[in-house]
């Protein structure tokens, strides 16, 4: 399959799957393959969902006709749910806690676990795998007919969530819920300072007080007293939250390029705001009323509840993966080229094609002089019209008249297409039910924590005879997690180039958090 990955795509490749097919497959997998444990409590909690889907052409097809769609199989190979991050004070130098449990990050770490298993199949067991031998000793590459699609039930937090709201236009959200503001404050979905900013920015004279239509068929709703009540689609630490995000950078020509966003000449009256905060060193948001509230294109960090996090926004991480690949530094030792996503599909939620393109591709499109095999990918970005059944919006619609708060689910679920213990349910970065007394033991570690993925990497390495090791692992004696990461020289060169040319303010954890063995 030549879909994305900087390879020429044949005409049939464009019709191999649809965004709705990807979303439907992921929602079905969530319902069937994930346990009740870790899922939101009915009528009280909501969560976010992300997954990686393997796309593979059905064997035996002839390629003599360009107008006949290629038949493909679609398989979920990793999945994650989650809405939370831990604060800086909760981070551990032992690598046994998940710092970031947003669904996209859980899905990507679960994908790395899947890739490790596939490498074990081909390099150790000599069995069929997604990998084939590369041209250099000890290196492997992805089979040329395979591709991976990333699915998220929601717009990634950070820059991609800065979405313009246009006057006289169907807004990219769902019917107004007058309890939204109360639910939001009660659930801690935004920090107190963000709530205060919201109050300051949305006075009675703000243009967002005008009537706006929502979904087709939904009657126009008056937004009274300067407080617009929209459903929030972000998590406790992120997500597009209605009157909030945009920037003075949202030029009319940019908005005109957004399909279906508004009739010609429509006025931008406000923006969806992201809870993610600008990192130190960036220009920062203006905080001005309406559409000028946010500055677009900036690196952002996920906010904590009183305890700041060191976790970059999901928009930033997806942009980084689009250049460095999803495999990370450790797995790059075994790979001839990075593992890129061919497409990103977003579920039904507040959405802007222009914002997604800017956040995931545009900010880094001029990065150059990358090592061989690395490059800015023209990842395909699409939106599905299917809503995730346990999203905040869906849950609000179900419990419209129910008493009590709607809050984000505190648990995160990881699932990988691996034969042994594919599931992992965590809360606050540790396996659900863990006690303080047990912290530090082997039993109280997520299977996708840094230390456990490192352990799996070391197990793979020890199963391969040294004469078949890749050259990058034969240069010097490596001991710590940091040693092995730094020894992936091509990956580190690519990361250094990306930081110098586009992401210079990226927050990096101190090296003493990577010294475990």
Query: Which residues on neighbouring strands pair with residue 100, listed in sequence order?
Result: 85
Label each residue of 141-154 as H, E or C.
Answer: EECCCCEEEEEECC
How long a stretch of residues is the chain? 517
* 104 assigned to active site: yes
**What span, in angstroms and rounded, lies between the C-alpha atoms of 133 and 142?**
9
Angular region, 25: left φ>0, alpha ψ -120 to 50, beta rest: alpha
Cα dihedral 80, 353, 387, 147, rounded to 10, equals -50
**Sequence-ordered list of residues with C-beta below 8 angstroms from that of 456, at least 6 positions apart, any chain:** 113, 116
104, 202, 337, 354: which one is catalytic? Answer: 104
Among candidates 102, 155, 41, 94, which has minimal Cα distance to 304? 102
Closest CA to 302 of 97, 158, 109: 158
Euclidean distance between CA atoms 68 and 400, whole angstroms: 46
Q: Phi and psi for 329 in degrees, rounded to 5?
A: -70, -45
One-character DSSP codes across 86-125: --GGG--TTS-S-SEEEHHHHHHHHHHHHHHHHHHHHHTS
CB-CB neighbours of 464 under 10 Å: 17
CA distances to 144, 170, 226 from 221, rounded to whole Å, are 51, 12, 13
Task: Give Cα 267 distance to the centre of its chain.
Answer: 30
| Residue indicated by tokens 């299917």 | 386
Supply 343's token pair.
């497409």
Cβ atoms of residues 95 and 454 within 8 Å: yes
Catalytic positions, please?
104
């Amino acid at each position: 399959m030549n879909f994305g990955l900087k390879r020429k795509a044949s005409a049939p490749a464009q019709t191999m799957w649809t965004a709705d097919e990807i979303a439907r497959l992921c929602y079905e997998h969530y319902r069937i393959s994930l346990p009740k444990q870790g899922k939101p409590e009915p009528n009280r909690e909501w969560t976010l969902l992300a997954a990686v889907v393997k796309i593979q052409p059905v064997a035996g097809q002839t390629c003599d006709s360009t107008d006949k769609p290629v038949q493909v199989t679609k398989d979920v190979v990793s999945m994650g749910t989650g809405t939370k991050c831990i604060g800086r004070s909760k981070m551990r130098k032992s690598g046994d806690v998940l710092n970031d449990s947003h669904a996209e990050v859980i899905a990507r770490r679960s994908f790395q676990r899947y890739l490790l298993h596939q490498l074990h199949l081909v390099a150790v067991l000599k069995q069929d795998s997604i990998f084939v031998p590369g041209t250099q000793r000890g290196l492997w590459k992805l089979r040329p007919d395979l591709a991976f699609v990333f699915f998220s039930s929601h717009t990634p937090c950070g820059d991609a969530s800065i979405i313009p709201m246009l006057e006289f236009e169907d807004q990219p959200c769902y019917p107004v819920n007058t309890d939204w503001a109360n639910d939001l404050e009660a659930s801690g979905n935004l920090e107190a300072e963000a709530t205060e900013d919201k109050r300051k920015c949305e006075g009675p004279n703000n243009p967002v007080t005008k009537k706006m239509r929502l979904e087709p068929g939904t009657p126009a709703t008056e937004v009274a007293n300067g407080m617009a009540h929209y459903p929030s689609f972000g998590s406790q630490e992120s997500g597009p939250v209605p009157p909030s995000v945009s920037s003075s950078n949202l030029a009319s020509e940019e908005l005109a390029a957004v399909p279906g966003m508004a009739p010609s000449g429509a006025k931008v009256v406000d923006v969806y705001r992201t809870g993610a905060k600008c990192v130190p060193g960036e220009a920062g948001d203006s905080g001005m009323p309406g559409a000028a509230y946010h500055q677009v294109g900036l690196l952002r960090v996920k906010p904590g509840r009183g305890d700041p996090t060191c976790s970059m926004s999901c928009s930033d991480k997806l942009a980084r993966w689009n250049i460095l690949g999803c495999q990370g530094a450790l797995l790059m030792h075994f790979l001839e080229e990075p593992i890129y996503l061919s497409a990103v599909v977003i579920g039904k939620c507040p959405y802007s094609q222009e914002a997604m393109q800017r956040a995931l591709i545009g900010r880094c499109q001029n990065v150059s002089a990358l090592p061989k095999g690395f490059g800015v990918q023209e990842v395909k970005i699409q939106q599905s019209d299917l809503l995730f059944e346990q999203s905040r919006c869906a849950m609000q619609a179900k419990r419209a008249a129910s008493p009590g708060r709607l809050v984000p689910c505190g648990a995160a679920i990881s699932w990988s297409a691996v034969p042994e213990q594919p599931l992992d349910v965590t809360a606050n970065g540790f396996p659900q039910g863990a006690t303080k007394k047990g912290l530090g033991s082997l039993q109280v570690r997520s299977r996708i924590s840094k230390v456990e993925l490192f352990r799996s990497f070391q197990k793979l390495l020890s199963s391969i005879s040294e004469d078949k090791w890749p050259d990058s692992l034969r240069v010097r004696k490596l001991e710590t997690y940091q040693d092995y990461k730094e020894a992936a020289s091509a990956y580190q060169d690519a990361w250094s180039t990306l930081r110098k040319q586009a992401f210079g303010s990226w927050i990096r954890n101190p090296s003493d958090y990577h010294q475990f063995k």
